[in-house]
Chains A and B, each alone.
Chain A
Amino acid sequence: MTINQKSKPLLAVLAIVLLLLPFFIDALLGRGWVRIADFAMLYIMLALGLNIVVGYAGLLDLGYIAFFAVGAYCYALTGSPHLASAFPLLFPHGIHLSFWVVLPLAALLAGGFGVLLGAPTLRLRGDYLAIVTLGFGEIIRIFLNNLNAPLNLTNGPQGISRIDPVNVAGAPLNATQQILGVTLPSVHLYFYLFLAFTALVVFTSRRLEKSRIGRAWMAIREDEIAASAMGINTRNLKLLAFAMGAMFGGVSGALFAGFQGFVSPESFSLMESVMVLCMVVLGGMGNIAGVILGSVLLALLPEVLRHGVVPLQQALFGKMIIDPESLRMLLFGGALVVMMLYRPAGLLPSRVRRRELDTDEVAETV
């Protein structure tokens, strides 16, 4: 219904390419890169979630990674032996709930946290909102860091390890599986799992964007006062945006925990929030394709540098002069400055943003 006849074959080709992609990557670049592609998809899901809050509803959120953390710890605690140390009598072996049971809970819990963050910030906008959300993100991380005493809930900075892998139809995804005679290593299996979830997230974003709810969000972004005068309950819709965005974050967090088998608070630093925001802004706020592009670019950049720059420097100078991490920040900063100068609306701007920035003409008059 939403996909017109012309784009159908295109979509089929895209699907086939994506399904074969892990084999290509594996053959051309090595298995490590399939893993990197898996991470890139986690970032895509995160960025699309943040895009609902920032891109559609226009609410600047600098603590978004907290919802990723909520989802990740949700599965880390309920799918690992860890809680045995805190409650030896209650859970002598820890809790080992199925991932598929925890996933909706993680989404709901993260959504709840989204509302929790949204409620006190309803009157705030722009910079002020950014500061409060930043604080919220840090609070969650600091809690995770310190909730190891007196009762060891989160295991503090050491994090939680030995998290159960995701099971699909009884088969754990952390081991190589044979399906219809094809051998699929673990990273390939997770690739397909994440691909399915990414598709779901893209689908959800699209449907929301082109609906009564999406339009109401954009009305709030454009002019909150006019939106409320037109009968939009701005409080509820802002909370809904926070909750929906947070749910996406929670889902990708749970996937992350199952994939890595290990989580620690350091994965949820402010820098990660900023990174996800940059993915949204770089690609083009409010535009799904743009956000995906931004996520892929920024997720791959550090890996390209790590795998490309070190050998290159070794070959050229015989030793390493700039370490990849500093170079990453340097390039990243430079790229953002160039972007703001030449493509302020993002690489693939949404129709709205593009028009907004391509002319100085001011519509509003006094």
Chain B
Amino acid sequence: MNSISASPLLQFSSISKQFGGLSALSDVSLHIRRGEIYGLIGPNGAGKTTLFNVITGLYQASAGEFQFNGKNYQSCKPHVLARAGIARTFQNIRLFANLSALENVMIGRHVRTKTGVIGALLRNRAARHEERAIAERARELLDYVGITKPHQTLARHLSYGEQRRLEIARALATDPLLLALDEPAAGMNATETESLKTLLQTIRASGITVLLIEHDVKLIMVLCDRVAVLDYGKKIAEGIPDEVRRKPAVIAAYLGGSDD
């Protein structure tokens, strides 16, 4: 193993994020190893989504730095991080609502393909070939995440569970090293959650590292190799799920968090 593949995939060093007077993240350090499913839990407003926004370049950290795949990504644009191999889904689903399911996933291929204006106009052999490959991969991914509706269905006409899975397919289309999922099971019923669990295990088995924000404690317990707990922007615990669950600080945070 060379030094890059032995190092953690994502290394967070003392990251802070301030919104005016509010510390959404304060001095958070953590690392995610290659091939694991890493859980991120904590009460509402703890800063989990903010952490996602920092690693995907939507927010710039106020202090600290993070390394991904051995490189520093300080104040990078979202598309740079997507190219580097971080893909995400959103807590409030953000699909391209008026495009078809297939087009949504095809757009995910954008970052790994290169046909420009000239290629689009001439539609030469390379462009046609690439276009076919994009559509083919998109169809594969729709099947992979289990969307059985016609691929021409507009994203907004899919059921809630399907929309969540379409977001995962779109993220996978970018060939990520790290797939970051923000509450993928929110609003799903028991069967949908069960099939999501299977899907995430398949994804991990395919070699993609998963970072998972989830409120469903049961799901976290069965899926995650390690979890970190955030509370008021601070990391209050980290470790294997069974240990973390028993820590008094975690119990206090959840009890404190549940009465609002």
Residues of A within 8 A of B (CB): 1-2, 204, 207-208, 211-216, 218-219, 222-223, 225-235, 240, 244, 352-353, 355-356, 361, 363-366
Q: Contact partner of B107 among A1, A232, A361, A365, CB < 8 A?
A: A232
B117 touches A219 (CB 8 A): no
Q: Closest approach, in angstroms, between the C-beta of A186 and any C-beta of chain B?
A: 31
B98 touches A215 (CB 8 A): no
Q: Contact partner of A244 among B77, B113, B117, B187, CB < 8 A?
A: B117
Between B56, B78, B93, B119, the greatest number of chain A beta carbons within 10 A of the residue's beta carbon is seen for B78
Say which one of B61-69, B155-163, B189-197, B201-209 lies at the interface with A.
B155-163
Interface membership of B32, Cβ < 8 A: no
Known: A352-B98, A363-B155. A240 touches B110 (CB 8 A): no
Known: A228-B78, A364-B92. A211 touches B97 (CB 8 A): no
CA A363 – CA B130 in complex, angstroms? Answer: 31
In the complex formed, the residue of A with least CB distance to B97 is A363
CA A211 – CA B118 in complex, angstroms? Answer: 11
Q: Closest approach, in angstroms, between the C-beta of B214 and any C-beta of chain A?
A: 17
Q: Enumerate chain A residues within 8 angstroms of B92, measured Cβ to Cβ.
A: 364-366
Convert B121-134 into 0s and 1s, putting 1 for each residue whose CB lies closer than 8 angstroms to a CB of A: 10100011011001
Q: Contact partner of A222 among B87, B93, B97, CB < 8 A?
A: B97
Chain B, interface residues (CB within 8 Å), range: 35 or more
CA A212 – CA B134 in complex, angstroms? Answer: 9
B117 touches A208 (CB 8 A): yes
CA A311 – CA B112 in complex, angstroms? Answer: 63
Q: Enumerate chain A residues within 8 angstroms of B163, measured Cβ to Cβ.
A: 363
Q: Contact partner of B95 among A212, A226, A366, CB < 8 A?
A: A226
Chain B stretch 123-157: residues in CB contact (< 8 A) with chain A? 123, 127-128, 130-131, 134, 154-157
A215 touches B103 (CB 8 A): yes
Question: Is chain A's binding surface mostly helix, strand, loop or mixed?
Answer: helix
In the complex formed, the residue of B with least CB distance to A240 is B117
A230 touches B174 (CB 8 A): yes
Q: Enumerate chain A residues within 8 angstroms of B128, measured Cβ to Cβ.
A: 1
A215 touches B97 (CB 8 A): no
A228 touches B99 (CB 8 A): no
Known: A212-B134, A214-B120. A355 touches B115 (CB 8 A): no
Chain B stretch 75-93: residues in CB contact (< 8 A) with chain A? 77-79, 82-83, 87-88, 90, 92-93
Other contacts beyond A222-B99, A231-B83, A232-B111: 16, CB < 8 A: A1-B128, A212-B109, A212-B134, A215-B106, A223-B94, A229-B78, A230-B171, A230-B174, A231-B78, A231-B110, A233-B79, A235-B77, A356-B97, A361-B156, A363-B97, A363-B155
Residues of B within 8 A of A (CB): 56-58, 77-79, 82-83, 87-88, 90, 92-99, 103, 106-113, 115-117, 119-121, 123, 127-128, 130-131, 134, 154-157, 160, 163, 170-171, 173-174, 187
CA A211 – CA B82 in complex, angstroms? Answer: 21
Known: A219-B96, A222-B98, A231-B82. A207 touches B107 (CB 8 A): no
Q: Enumerate chain B residues within 8 angstroms of A216, measured Cβ to Cβ.
A: 107, 110
Q: Enumerate chain B residues within 8 angstroms of A214, measured Cβ to Cβ.
A: 120
Known: A226-B90, A355-B154. A207 touches B110 (CB 8 A): no
CA A356 – CA B83 in complex, angstroms? Answer: 31
A363 touches B120 (CB 8 A): no
A364 touches B79 (CB 8 A): no
Q: Contact partner of A218 among B90, B96, B160, B187, CB < 8 A?
A: B96
In the complex formed, the residue of B with least CB distance to A357 is B98
A231 touches B79 (CB 8 A): yes
B120 touches A211 (CB 8 A): yes
B98 touches A231 (CB 8 A): no
Q: Closest approach, in angstroms, between the C-beta of A346 and any C-beta of chain B?
A: 14
In the complex formed, the residue of A with least CB distance to B170 is A230
CA A240 – CA B98 in complex, angstroms? Answer: 22
Between B115, B121, B160, B187, the greatest number of chain A beta carbons within 10 A of the residue's beta carbon is seen for B121
Q: Contact partner of B111 among A2, A230, A240, A364, CB < 8 A?
A: A230
Q: Closest approach, in angstroms, between the C-beta of A35 and any C-beta of chain B?
A: 31
B99 touches A213 (CB 8 A): no
Between B90, B131, B155, B156, the greatest number of chain A beta carbons within 10 A of the residue's beta carbon is seen for B156
CA A211 – CA B88 in complex, angstroms? Answer: 24
A207 touches B97 (CB 8 A): no
Q: Enumerate chain B residues within 8 angstroms of A208, measured Cβ to Cβ.
A: 117, 120-121
CA A235 – CA B77 in complex, angstroms? Answer: 10
Q: List 21 A-B contacts (CB under 8 A).
A: A208-B121, A211-B119, A211-B131, A212-B109, A212-B115, A214-B120, A215-B103, A219-B99, A219-B110, A225-B58, A225-B78, A228-B57, A229-B57, A229-B58, A231-B82, A231-B108, A232-B79, A353-B98, A355-B98, A356-B156, A363-B163
A207 touches B174 (CB 8 A): no
B58 touches A211 (CB 8 A): no
